Amino acid sequence: MARTKKVGSTGRYGSRYGAKLRRRVLDIDNRRKEPTRCPACATKALKRKAVGLWVCSKCDLLFAGGAYVPYTDAGKAAKRAIAQRVSGDFLALRDDEDIEEAVDFLPNVEREEVVIDAETVTTDDTVTSTKEE
């Protein structure tokens, strides 16, 4: 039996595929096997059932996560964005009344231009100049 003290579970690949790729596989295997907490009952009882499916062996919670880890960085970012929208932060969806007020400082928003007819405009300059003559 071969010694795998340094290479761990990637010893099965021997000298194939290069050291860098075997190191990446070792890192993925270690992260997949480490105990993680359940989001419902907070016990370290999560196990991977299939690719992207994680199940808690205590409370039988089944949820979708990453392929090798239950919580991915992209999933955490999405959860933060959803929490900001729900909490009523600036990114939150607002009523139409609030949008009209917010249009003033938003860039690239076209405003309606006011068209003034010549009949509705009266100027004092033309009136005074005709009276002086």
Q: Find the mean pLDDT for residues 101-109.
A: 53
Q: Which domains does the chain have, with CATH numbers?
A: 1-34 (no CATH), 35-69 (2.20.25.30), 72-110 (no CATH)
C-alpha span between 53 and 6 (Å, rounded): 30
C-alpha dihedral sign at 82, 87, 90, 94:
positive
Task: With a cut of 80, say whether residue 82 has pLDDT above it.
Answer: yes
Ranges 39-48, 88-97, 101-110, 124-133, most confident? 39-48
Give me the pLDDT at residue 91, please: 47
Q: Find the mean pLDDT for residues 10-15.
A: 90
Give me the pLDDT at residue 96, please: 46
Question: Is residue 13 within 8 Å of residue 22, measured between CB atoms?
Answer: yes
Question: Is residue 36 within 8 Å of residue 46, measured between CB atoms?
Answer: yes
Q: What is the pLDDT of residues 24-52, one digit of tens each?
A: 999 999 988 888 888 888 899 999 999 99
Give me the pLDDT at residue 18, please: 93
Q: How confident is the model at residue 118 (pLDDT cuts 50, 70, 90)?
A: low
Q: Find the mean pLDDT for residues 86-98.
A: 55
Task: With a cut of 60, say whether residue 88 has pLDDT above it.
Answer: yes
